Chains A and B, each alone.
Chain A
């Protein structure tokens, strides 16, 4: 798909789904999209335009939970980031893992750390956090440090003691 401007193609194909295009530079474009259309846009970029899926990222902003899927057009040197903002406190977005296998792990990671629910994810189980980590506690959310401040040495010792007493069988 050389000589095709991916941003213009997207704008022509999805006039309703695209909310804003933010060109940081010629090679770095952020496209804000309607969260409900994320699978359609990702499928078009990945399957029809042949973009390479780099990674997904997530950040909590005042507007809500911001989920970014980054795609690269290697032959052109252009990186397009799909930016979808979903409302807190229960962020929910369609999973792109059924379309792009490579997104499966990073979506599980975001699920663990930010508590974003990816609807339609093929294997939505815990990935990084410990097995006995409490449900509903998401360490990368802004609220985390207020609710759970740094553990003091005594509190840490309590955690260690609990495991020692439980034994290691």
Chain B
């Protein structure tokens, strides 16, 4: 990765929030992390509406039969290199839904994952820590 790319990725990482069949608990924690109380904009992190503009992919939930093609499609659209963060027990390991009839996850069997944030749900501090650690790894 060239220095310019690395600088561009770390300077102001834009995050896209992708729910692949989560119970909404992790999604709420992500939204909490974006509130002024935690203020992730101090790292330049902001939520955007299109994966084509994203540097960071925040993925919650097990991957289901229905969302599997959609996950691949979103991942194809994200500009590479990008940081993929698996948020919550489900995205990391399928959690309690492992072996269920609709589950084809976990996420790292579908797309390459850079950071795992375990927890059910993880705290907003944990999510921010995960993203920052992932960016530091680059």
Using a CB–CB distance below 8 Å, which chain A residues touch chain B? 129-133, 139, 144, 148, 150-151, 156-157, 159-160, 163-164, 166, 168
Contacts and interface: CB of A to CB of B under 8 A. Distances in A.
B102 A129 contact: yes
Mostly, the A contact residues are: loop
Interface in B21-73: 64-66, 68-70, 72-73
Nearest to A159: B104
A159 B69 contact: no
B109 interface: yes
B106 to A, nearest CB: 10
Task: Please list the 5 inter-chain residue pairs (A to B) with the smallest Cβ-Cβ separation, ordered nearest first.
Answer: A130-B66, A168-B73, A130-B65, A139-B101, A150-B99
Given A130-B102, A168-B70, 20 more contacts: A129-B102, A130-B64, A132-B65, A139-B101, A139-B102, A144-B101, A148-B101, A150-B99, A151-B99, A156-B104, A157-B109, A159-B68, A159-B104, A163-B68, A163-B72, A164-B72, A168-B69, A168-B72, A168-B73, A168-B76
A166 B72 CA distance: 11
Contacts of A129: 66, 102
Interface in B57-112: 64-66, 68-70, 72-73, 76, 99, 101-102, 104, 109-110
Contacts of A133: 65
